[in-house]
Amino acid sequence: MPRPSIGDTAMTDAGRPAHYRAARAAGTAVVRLRRPVDRRSLLTRWCDTSAELSEPQADYAAWLENLPENLHAGATAQALRVIVQRDLSDLLAIEPPHGFGRD
């Protein structure tokens, strides 16, 4: 999502640092948001992600079982069947290699 505009027209390359300096001189609070860094190893991230796939699949299976009879021929039921029938055992059985003593 793009940042909101400050004015009616786009700032020039010279206007952007001038606006920054003026805002700092006026005492405007600086808000910087950064995503937290994921410090887990690739192996741990793979294991966590592949394990998380089986949870929604079970939820979708329950949803398909509780779907009313008149919706069994619809697009929702078809999508749920595809998700439920997907075999994740091969994906869960993969064990990636350890990486250069960092895992």
The pLDDT of residue 91 is: 83
Q: Is the pLDDT of residue 100 over 80?
A: no
Query: For residues 96 and 1, which has the higher predicted lDDT (pLDDT)?
Result: 96
CB 6 within 8 A of CB 19: yes
The pLDDT of residue 102 is: 57
Q: Is the pLDDT of residue 15 over 60?
A: yes
**Which segments of 11-103 does DSSP mark as H helices, in order?**
15-26, 42-65, 75-85, 89-93
CB 85 within 8 A of CB 60: no
Domain ranges of the chain: 42-93
Confidence of residue 1 (pLDDT cuts 50, 70, 90): low
Task: Write the pLDDT tens digit of every residue in 52-92.
Answer: 888 899 999 999 999 999 999 999 999 999 999 998 888 88
